[in-house]
C-alpha cells in the first residue's frame, strides 16, 4: 500500500482537474541508485493490465505490479522549497546492491584512504554508486565532473590502481554526467 499526504493529494487533484479526460496518478520506477529507487510521477488516461490501483477520495494512484515491492509502504508528499517544488516519494525500500559486500567495502576503503585524498587537490571526488558483476560504478564530482582529463584519470589512474589492489575487479564504469560539471579542473 502507498500513502498520500493531504498536500500531495491536493496538488495531484489540481493537476488532474486541468485535464479534459479523467486521469490517474501513475508512479513508474525508472531506475535506481545505490540508496533509492528513481520514480517518475505521470498522469495516465488508462490503467494497464496488471497495474495496481489505489483509490483515493477523488482520484486513483496506479503503478505496475512489478514495481509493488519497490514501492510498498512508501509515502507520496508534495514539497515546496527554495530549490524547487514537486512530488517526493519517502520510500522505506532500498535497492539490493553489493556496496556492503567484501568487494564493495574494499573499493570504498581504497577510494576513501587513497584516491579521494589525492584528487581532492584538484577539487575532485569519486563516489562509489554500485557494485555489480565485479564492476564498480562511480560518479565523479567537483573538479572531476566535466574535466577534460576525467576519462584518463579514471581509466589510466584510478582503475589501474584498484585492479592492482583488487584483482577480481573487472572494470570501473563512469556514471557521471560530465555535461553538468560546473567547476572542471581542466576544460
pLDDT in tens, 56-69: 999 999 999 999 99
- State the CATH architecture for 102-180: 2-Layer Sandwich (3.30)
pLDDT(106) > 90: yes
pLDDT in tens, 70-105: 999 999 999 998 878 999 999 999 887 777 789 999
Judge residue 40's burial from the number of C-beta atoms within 10 Å of its C-beta, 0-12 exposed, 13-18 middle, 19 or more buried.
exposed
Distance between CA atoms of residues 170 and 24, nearest Å? 44
Query: Domain 3-90's class?
Result: mainly beta
Residue with cell 567537483: 142
Average pLDDT over residues 140-157: 93
User: What are the domain boundaries of the chain?
Assistant: 3-90, 102-180
Alpha helices in the chain (DSSP H): 6-17, 68-71, 102-110, 116-119, 150-152, 159-165
Read off the pTM. 0.58
Mean pLDDT of the chain: 92
For β-strands 60-64 and 51-55, DSSP reports them as antiparallel
CA–CA–CA angle 64, 70, 74 (5° rounding): 100
Amino acid at each position: 500500500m502507498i500513502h498520500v499526504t493531504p498536500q500531495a493529494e491536493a496538488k495531484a487533484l489540481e493537476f488532474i482537474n486541468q485535464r479534459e479526460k479523467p486521469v490517474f496518478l501513475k508512479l513508474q520506477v525508472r531506475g535506481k541508485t545505490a540508496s533509492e529507487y528513481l520514480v517518475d510521477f505521470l498522469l495516465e488516461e488508462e490503467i494497464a493490465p496488471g497495474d495496481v490501483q489505489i483509490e483515493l477520495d477523488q482520484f486513483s494512484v496506479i503503478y505496475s505490479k512489478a514495481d509493488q515491492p519497490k514501492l510498498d509502504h512508501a509515502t507520496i508528499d508534495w514539497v515546496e522549497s527554495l530549490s524547487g517544488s514537486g512530488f517526493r516519494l519517502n520510500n522505506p525500500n532500498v535497492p539490493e546492491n553489493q556496496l556492503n559486500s567484501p568487494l564493495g567495502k574494499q573499493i570504498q576503503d581504497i577510494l576513501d584512504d587513497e584516491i579521494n585524498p589525492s584528487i581532492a587537490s584538484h577539487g575532485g571526488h569519486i563516489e562509489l554508486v554500485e557494485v555489480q558483476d565485479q564492476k564498480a560504478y562511480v560518479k565523479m564530482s567537483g573538479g572531476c565532473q566535466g574535466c577534460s582529463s576525467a576519462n584518463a584519470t579514471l581509466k589510466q589512474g584510478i582503475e589501474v590502481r584498484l585492479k592492482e589492489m583488487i584483482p577480481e575487479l573487472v572494470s570501473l564504469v563512469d556514471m557521471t554526467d560530465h555535461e553538468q560539471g560546473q567547476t572542471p579542473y581542466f576544460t
